[in-house]
Structure 1
Amino acid sequence: MTTTELTLGQSAVPAAEQPYYIIDFDSTFTKVEALDILGGISLAGRPEGEDAIHQIKTITDRGMAGEISFTESLNLRLGLLKAHRDQLPALIESLMGKISDSFQRNKEFLTENADRIYIVSNGFREFILPIVTSLGIQEGHVFANTFVYDENGAIIGFDPENPLSANDGKSKVIRDLNLSGEVYVIGDGYTDYEIRASGLANRFYAFTENVLRPSVVEKADHVAHSLDDFLYHNNLSRSQSYPKSRIKVLLLENVHPVAVQLFELEGFNVEIRKEALDEDELIEAIRDVSILGIRSKTNLTARVLENANKLMAVGAFCIGTNQIDLDTCTQKGIAVFNAPYSNTRSVVELAIGEIIMLIRSIVPKSNLMHKGGWDKSAKNSFEVRGKKLGLVGYGNIGTQLSVVAEALGMEVYFYDIVDKLALGNARKCKSLDDLLAVADIISLHTDGRKENKNLFSYREFSLMKNGVIFLNLSRGHIVDIPALVDAIERGKIAGAGIDVFPLEPKTNNEEFTSALRKLPNVILTPHIGGSTEEAQVNIGNFVPGKLLEYINNGSTYGSVNFPELQLPMLKGSHRLLHIHANVPGILAKMNAIFANYHINIHGQYLKTNEQIGYVITDVAKEYAHEVVEELRSIDNTIKFRLLY
């Protein structure tokens, strides 16, 4: 996709002056080494199969790295394979599903430039030809080995007359082609570099989308992380305006591996750190980052954002965003997304579990038993049925907790500063004071805005019933801890469940300190309301999904600070994304530029909030380069992106 570096989609090089492109097959055109896959097919179920497959892969890697000669590598692998002609269709079917992603994305380039593209491989024509021709490669431009079979169809070797069966065979093929003009080689192995070393190619691109061989990379003129990267480097027609391999994603605080996989599958350059970073550490880490993923412990301050010159989007892998300076993000054109629903059920279940444990005084009884005591009395042990549950905050978690609590026979009361529709038999209280006076159990589910600091202090605890159960599974700074401790020690609160704290350890290795420690009938949990496997998987899928929609398509639906737009998929157009200060006349200026250059608009979308406006324009692919610069130069422009 794109950051601030923008180029148009059409090749800047006339076709007649373009180089010839020599492309390897195994681990370049496809994600895998075909003979490794064939080994998995031919050796399946054999006693020696697993060991033979491992040997084949080892020999492949040694040959590709130049540690042994190609001919030796080929002979050794074929001897281990024990393959048959009848197994080739299964191999071809498997390889069809393993074509490199960037090659599939750029089929149009391969087809349009088929007369200048050659597949030169030490693999075998029988399985290479159907794969590459499916993406537009000309049959006559495919050079590879051929199998030799016995009378029963068993593969027993290769054609020794084929130059590609010998060492330095690729160089001989290129020499015989006698290509007039520059030659660029794209491949992942040492035999691809040999073409450049022999003087028959002007550039060698080490292709690393599927495998990175250090001994090959160090020989390369350039590293191509993908075909997109190669095309971008040479300003050629491509499916992505900016290669994702050049877009850095930084994921902090041990986000779920599914999130990492989603970004890596899209081809992004992903860095993972298990811990939260303090302000100075984050300033250093964020300089080249385009997408940042955090949880609740990393504070994204204005000072950090001033050093985030490439940052386009932030994903909060949690519900809250109070750890993020949203105003500064908006001013800098950085879209922020969170996960408002993904861990709702997990928090609700923890709340219900703690309510039952606390109202039954299970914790002190359990602690006593661990010391050898035995207290079988029913004193201070109650059912939840018929009790009045007071919910402070009636959002996603509050409403679902309301439904579950009613199913357990509880009466539900709620208070929210926003007018909310009551679910089931829940009753809305006119004020927080009214709720505190009626509730037997109070559970906090408010947001983390600064105004909510110490929302619950000495006054609020004094308004509660004696012996109330109190839960805070929302934000740590909402509760005045000394006031809470006082209420517990006086017996005003009979039991408390606290999951969030004003100050929390940054890592699991730091000691947790709090005046709440060792108080009776108090459940302390380390901010794990949403920490279930199910919730983390949900968040790990949800947040990257929103970030990828924004990066790939421009959609901002679900953003907490941007005008929300759900955009159609981009087809047959270029998409221009313009973020600007919300002042009058921007759209008129943009359309005047389009009119001046006679550009056909396929679709246009505009939405604003108090701070910014967001205009998306889909235009015909043919337009002058000056259009981009004029759009970026409009007064009050914050950010401009180009997608195609």
Structure 2
Amino acid sequence: MKLALFSSKPYDEKYFNRENKFNHEITFFSTRLNEQTLSLAKGYTAVCVFVNDKIDRAMIATLAKNGTQFIALRCAGFNNIDFEACKEFGIIVCRVPAYSPYAVAEHTAALMLTLNRRITRAYNRVKEGNFSLDGLLGFDIHGKTIGIIGTGQIGECFANIMNGFGTRLLFVDPFESSKCQSMGEYTDLDTLFKESDIISLHCPLRPETHHLINDASIAKMKNKVMILNTSRGALIDTHALIRGLKQSQLGSVGLDVYEEEAELFFEDCSDTIIQDDTFMRLTTFPNVIITGHQAFFTSTALSNIAETTLQNLDDLEFERLCLNLVE
């Protein structure tokens, strides 16, 4: 199959070439797939896209006209694609639902511990010969209440990690996990907001979850609550988050995603003036840590992403059952 892979980085090329036992003909494009680069996909049976490639109805119509039959997402989420338009124009969409839930869950735990124990500040102090402990006070995770919104594979893995810390676990998800039930209890959002010391987001971005964290929900939370988001940026209203930080309602925030990340993340912007004033305001808070959508970024995950994506396309090419269709 002729495959055009967009938003490609050197590590994508390495792992996709290594896992390409199917002998797909892959062309790697470093650019994102958008209206300006759509012509590059002409003649390719499939296009492979990532989280910040936004594909609307007009683009899907053009892709179909130019011979594209399949869109392969090398990620779990599919909110960046007009799926109804894909059905209308006969384009089949597949994804990678579980590349490594452990990678994302472990990164979430790393953000939590770094925030709580002020690791970044402590590291910088010691490098400068400053061994003072003032301003580095944390709290025991043991015994705290952890609210987990979304108990799919990643949320379940994070719950298992937090269970090992000896915490009380609260969950919100319309589909309850028996494993999570054995570790904690399912409840409603208001109870989770009210009782949690740490809230971690692991749910997909849908209309009903857009800006799930907002002024109203923050007002229901415990004073000095910690919020973690390694799922999708638009689950959080960033302006509400900043207000909560300025008013000291929020104790700390760890983000691996940001609702306007498309122009920033996965690129080297160190030699440019970043124009996103909201993002830059977030970086000024000493109790905020932001990583650039790297929670998934382990060798295990990259291998699984490449292998599953290529297997999906092989199944579709030879009309076998593909287990990872977006339907």
TM > 0.5: yes
Which residue of 48, 66, 83 corresponds with 1:326?
Answer: 83
Instruction: Report matched runs for 1:374-523 at 5 Å.
Output: 374-377=131-134, 380-421=137-178, 422-429=180-187, 431-504=188-261, 505=264, 507-510=266-269, 513=276, 514=279, 515-523=281-289
What amino acid maps onto 1:252 in structure 2? Answer: F
Asked if 1:293 is matched to 2:48, the reply is yes
> Paired residue for 2:99?
342
Asked if 1:537 is matched to 2:303, the reply is yes
d(CA) in 1 for partners of 2:184, 2:46: 41
What amino acid maps onto 2:184 in structure 1? Answer: A
What amino acid maps onto 2:185 in structure 1? Answer: R
> Paired residue for 1:305?
60
Q: Which runs of 5+ in 1 are unaligned?
A: 1-246, 562-644
Compute the displacement of 1:552 (Å).
Answer: 1.7
d(CA) in 2 for partners of 1:382, 1:352: 15
What amino acid maps onto 1:251 in structure 2? Answer: L
Task: Report if the CA contact (8 A) 1:433-1:463 is conserved.
Answer: yes
Compute the displacement of 1:368 (Å).
Answer: 4.2
Task: Report if the CA contact (8 A) 2:225-2:251 is conserved.
Answer: yes
What amino acid maps onto 1:330 in structure 2? Answer: K
d(CA) in 2 for partners of 1:347, 1:262: 22
What amino acid maps onto 2:154 in structure 1? Answer: I
Compute the displacement of 1:393 (Å).
Answer: 1.1
Change beyond 3 A, Cα 1:478–1:558? same
Asked if 1:551 is matched to 2:317, the reply is yes
Number of corresponding residues: 312
d(CA) in 2 for partners of 1:535, 1:451: 28
Q: Which moved more, 1:445-454 or 1:373-382?
A: 373-382
> Paired residue for 2:39?
284
d(CA) in 1 for partners of 2:98, 2:24: 26
Task: Report if the CA contact (8 A) 1:276-1:506 is conserved.
Answer: no
What amino acid maps onto 1:328 in structure 2? Answer: A
The percent identity for this pair of structures is 23
Q: Which runs of 5+ in 2 are unaligned?
A: none
Task: Report if the CA contact (8 A) 2:13-2:28 is conserved.
Answer: no
Task: Report if the CA contact (8 A) 1:340-1:396 is conserved.
Answer: no
TM-score of the pair, normalised by structure 2: 0.88
d(CA) in 2 for partners of 1:320, 1:363: 30
Greater C-alpha radius of gyration: 1
d(CA) in 1 for partners of 2:125, 2:247: 21
What amino acid maps onto 2:183 in structure 1? Answer: N
Change beyond 3 A, Cα 1:532–1:457? same
> Paired residue for 1:111?
none
Task: Report if the CA contact (8 A) 2:146-2:167 is conserved.
Answer: yes
Task: Report if the CA contact (8 A) 2:265-2:292 is conserved.
Answer: no
TM-score of the pair, normalised by structure 1: 0.46
Give the secondary-structure state (helix, strand or coil) at the position aligned to 2:302.
helix
Asked if 1:352 is matched to 2:109, the reply is yes
d(CA) in 2 for partners of 1:372, 1:518: 24
Compute the displacement of 1:378 (Å).
Answer: 7.9
Can you list the C-alpha shifts for 1:109-149, whole angstroms capped at 9, x where unaligned?
Answer: xxxxxxxxxxxxxxxxxxxxxxxxxxxxxxxxxxxxxxxxx
Task: Report if the CA contact (8 A) 1:344-1:397 is conserved.
Answer: yes
Which residue of 239, 250, 275 corresponds with 2:31?
Answer: 275
Give the secondary-structure state (helix, strand or coil) at the position aligned to 1:452.
coil
> Paired residue for 1:257?
14
Tell me the C-alpha RMSD between the 2 structures.
2.0
Compute the displacement of 1:369 (Å).
Answer: 4.3
d(CA) in 2 for partners of 1:258, 1:450: 34
Task: Report if the CA contact (8 A) 2:7-2:31 is conserved.
Answer: yes
Can you list the C-alpha shifts for 1:541-566, whole angstroms capped at 9, x where unaligned?
Answer: 112112211112332322112xxxxx
Task: Report if the CA contact (8 A) 2:196-2:221 is conserved.
Answer: yes
Change beyond 3 A, Cα 1:371–1:467? farther
